[in-house]
Amino acid sequence: MVKILWGIILLAFFLIILAIVIKPAKNEALVNNQPVPVPSFSPLTSSFSLIPSNSPKPVVPVHSGRQAHIPILLYHYIGGNPNPDDSARDNLSVSPEKFDEQMGYLSQNGYDPITLDTMVAGLRGIASLPSKPVVITFDDGYVDLYINAFGILRKYGFRAVAFIPTGLIGTKYYASWEQLSEMQASGLLSFESHSVSHANLPSLTKDRLVSELAESKKTLEARFGVPINFIAYPNGISSEQVQEAVKTAGYIGGIGTWFSTTQSEGTIYNMPRIKIPGGLSLLDFAKRL
C-alpha cells in the first residue's frame, strides 16, 4: 500500500515537471508590455479612383440690388385638365370658381396687378410701383385661358401675362392665334415667350437653344407688333448658360418657378413665382402673397 502511494506521488511530480518544461513561452512583446504590431491593410477605396461628377451644380438664386415685395402668381389651367391621360397635371387645374374667388380677394384687399415691364422698371428705379403690386401669369397658353380666365380678368379689370410656346399654339388643348390676338387687343393680356417647343432648355445644343429663344421672340413680335422682353423657362429650369443666352437673345428678364415673394435686380433673369395649385384654400392663397 505504501509503495502504491509513493508511486502515485512520483507520477504526479513527474507530470508537473513535464508540464513546466513543455509550456509555450509567452510572447516577448506581451511580457515587456509592448504593443503587438497590427498588420496593415490598404482600404478598398485606395484601389479605385473616384470619378467626379460632371453634373453642373444647380444655380442658387440670390437676391441683390433693389428689392421689392412683388408676388408673381403662376397658373396653368383655369378649368379641368383637358387631357385625362396626363394625370400629373391634375394639380395644376384651378376651377373658374376658385380663380374668380382669388381675383376677388386681390381686388378687395387692394392689390394692383402690373406687367413685368412695369415691375422691372420699378426695380431699376425708372418707374414707381403701386403700394401692393402683384403679377398674374399663365404658362402655356391653353384654350381655357381664353374660355375661362379672360372673362374673369375683364370682370376685375386685371392685367395679366401669358407665356406662349409658339410652336404649340393652335394645336390640341392650346388657344388659337386669333384668340390670343383678341385678348392682346383688350389691353389686359400681354404675351411673352415660353420657347418654341416647350423644350428643356439646359439640355439643348447651343444652336438649338439659340433657335428656341430667337424664333419664339421673333414670332410673337411679328404677331403682336410689340417687343417681347421676357421668357418663362419651360418647367422653370434654367442654368447660367441658358440665362446668358437669354440675355444675348435680347430678353430683359427670365422667369423661373422657385418660391419667393421678393423680386430683385439680382434675380431678373431667374425671377421667383408662386405656384397656385387647384386645391388651394382662399386662406392658404392669402398666406402665399
pLDDT at residue 80, rounded to an integer: 86
Query: 29 versus 208: which is more confidently predicted?
Result: 208
Q: Using an 8 Å Cβ cutoff, are 136 and 113 in contact?
A: yes
pLDDT digits (tens, 9 = 90+) for 216-227: 999 999 999 999
Asked whether the predicted pLDDT for residue 195 surpasses 80, the reply is yes
Delineate the domains of the chain, giving CATH numbers in brackets: 67-288 (3.20.20.370)
pLDDT band at 283, cuts 50/70/90? very high
Strands 262-264 and 67-69: antiparallel
Task: Write down the mean pLDDT value for the chain.
Answer: 85
CB neighbour class for 238 (10 Å; exposed up to 12, middle 13-18, buried from 19): buried
CB 112 within 8 A of CB 130: yes
* Residue-by-residue DSSP string for 57-103: PPP-----SSEEE--EEEE-EESS-S-TT-GGGGGGEE-HHHHHHHH
What's residue 47's pLDDT?
32
Give the mean pLDDT of 245-263: 98
Q: Which of 189, 106, 196 is nearest to 150 (CA)?
A: 189
pLDDT digits (tens, 9 = 90+) for 18-55: 444 444 444 433 334 444 343 333 333 333 233 333 43
What are the tens digits of pLDDT across the range 82-137? Answer: 888 878 788 899 999 999 999 999 999 999 999 999 999 999 999 999 999 999 99
Q: Does pLDDT of 177 surpass 90?
A: yes
**What pLDDT is attached to residue 235?**
95
Q: What is the pTM of this model?
A: 0.79
Phi-psi region of 25 (alpha: psi -120 to 50; beta: other; left: phi over 0): beta
